[in-house]
Amino acid sequence: MEEKLTKKLDALATRTIDLHNRDYLLTWERSPDELHATLLAADVLRDLYLSGRRTRLFDGGLAVSNFRDNSTRTRFSFASAASLLGLSTQDLDESRSQIAHGETVRETANMISFLSEVIGIRDYIFLGEGHKYMVEVGAALDDGYRAGVLPQRPAVINLQCDLDHPTQSLADLMHLQQVFGSLEALRGRKIAMTWAHSPSYGKPLSVPQGIITLMTRFGMNVVLAHPEGYDLVPDTLELAGKFARQSGGSFAVTHDLAAAFRDAHVVYPKSWAPYRVMQERTRLLRGGENEQLAALEKECLAQNLRCRDWECTEKLMATTRGDRPVIAGEDSRNAKQALYMHCLPADITDVTCKVGEVSASVFERYRLATYREASYKPFIIAAMIVLTRFAKPAEALRTLAAGGGMRRGGDSHPRA
């Protein structure tokens, strides 16, 4: 273990990382080295945590969370990462329905940052706004830092925007890395990112967009499948294509669910709203046109219902390929089938709804695997904090590994 840790730290030290005093917003803005470094730092933090070591790199300071929606999971992942590193969480509770701009954003960004190390933002409701808002906050922080108003430059971390969901897609990638043994083992594997039926409406696009733009960078064969009309933001398709060409993987779009599942090593069936609907919705929300919003919702749900056969069933799963070791919490059947992934909560047919994204029996087989998939997120967020806040992340982490301090008094291992 100690030797493994040293290896990981050495590998981290060799990466070229241009993240110090910057933000972590979109994975496609990050170099391969930076993505690898994120996974390495997350892995080191997880190793330290699992072995009962103390992981507090900060002795005080704020981790600000700004959730423009209700989010239990991400809230807890962020709070966990903050506690892991020794930061105090403070929630910025803005009115959720308004889009702040200009002076208000510049000012608020500085007012909450005098002793802050990180600002985690989740803002995906308005297509075309979430990412823009995060960039605006980052610029205001640069402004304040340059003028010496801010003693340190807090990092903005994207906890989900309208374009990307990097903490999710990188946690998903870390999960794949663990399941298949390495990042290299993902090369040439087929992952099907597919639309799936849901009885709810307006689900964001950031997960599928995040998956197709990230997994194509690691040589995977990525297939995006959805019914006609359920398009993603066009730019993300272009990025996925470009990345596939660069990495030696592939990227294809299909409207045939069965073809997408066939021989897939990984499936990710998940609902989202069509890009054009999200645009229209933003326009209507902005104009406060409630009647038309209700009509749009009704129309969309009817459209969803016409695609109710887009469900991850046992029959579809039987057409996939396993070719990997079974992980804990999985049915033995799973070894012969694709790894099922979901960002949770899933719409489970006959369990949480009448007709959903996935059948009850498929979900139950992979239930604990999806929990495990989620378990990487706190460490990914913590890694993003370390990479953005420390000029020499490997050295900072090495002090923890070398220090030998334990996280708990007395019998210090949590499983002791």
- Of 90-109, binders to its own copies (CB under 8 A) are 90, 92, 94, 102-104, 106-108
Tell me how far CA of residue 297 lies from CA of 81, 203, 293, 309, 317, in angstroms: 36, 11, 6, 20, 31
Number of residues interacting with its own copies: please give it, by CB under 8 A.
Answer: 86
Indicate the residue among 216 and 370 with the shorter CB distance to its own copies: 370
- Of 365-384, binders to its own copies (CB under 8 A) are 367-368, 371-372, 374-375, 377-378
For residues 6 and 39, give the distance between their C-alpha atoms in angstroms, rounded to a whole number. 15
Residue 72 as a binder of its own copies (CB under 8 A): the answer is: yes
* Sheet containing 155-161, strands listed edge to edge, beginning at the edge strand earlier in sequence: 88-91, 62-67, 116-123, 155-161
For residues 391 and 291, give the distance between their C-alpha atoms in angstroms, rounded to a whole number. 52
Residue 128 as a binder of its own copies (CB under 8 A): the answer is: no
Indicate the residue among 157 and 394 with the shorter CB distance to its own copies: 394
Which residue in 7, 33, 76, 128 binds its own copies (CB under 8 A)? 76
Indicate the residue among 29 and 114 with the shorter CB distance to its own copies: 114
- Of 232-291, binders to its own copies (CB under 8 A) are none
Residue 86 as a binder of its own copies (CB under 8 A): the answer is: yes
Question: Minimum distance between the CB of residue 165 and its own copies, rounded to whole angstroms?
Answer: 16
Tell me how far CA of residue 235 lies from CA of 125, 210, 212, 260, 287, in angstroms: 19, 12, 11, 22, 26
The two tokens of residue 324 are 């990997």
Residues 41, 395 contacting (CB under 8 angstroms): no
Which residue in 13, 105, 115, 355 binds its own copies (CB under 8 A)? 115
Indicate the residue among 77 and 177 with the shorter CB distance to its own copies: 77
Which residue in 13, 58, 135, 313 binds its own copies (CB under 8 A)? 58
- Of 26-45, binders to its own copies (CB under 8 A) are none
Tell me how far CA of residue 390 lies from CA of 117, 118, 254, 394, 395, in angstroms: 10, 12, 43, 9, 9
Which residue in 88, 200, 319, 361 binds its own copies (CB under 8 A)? 88
Residues 45, 54 contacting (CB under 8 angstroms): no
Residues 250, 226 contacting (CB under 8 angstroms): no
Residue 329 as a binder of its own copies (CB under 8 A): the answer is: yes
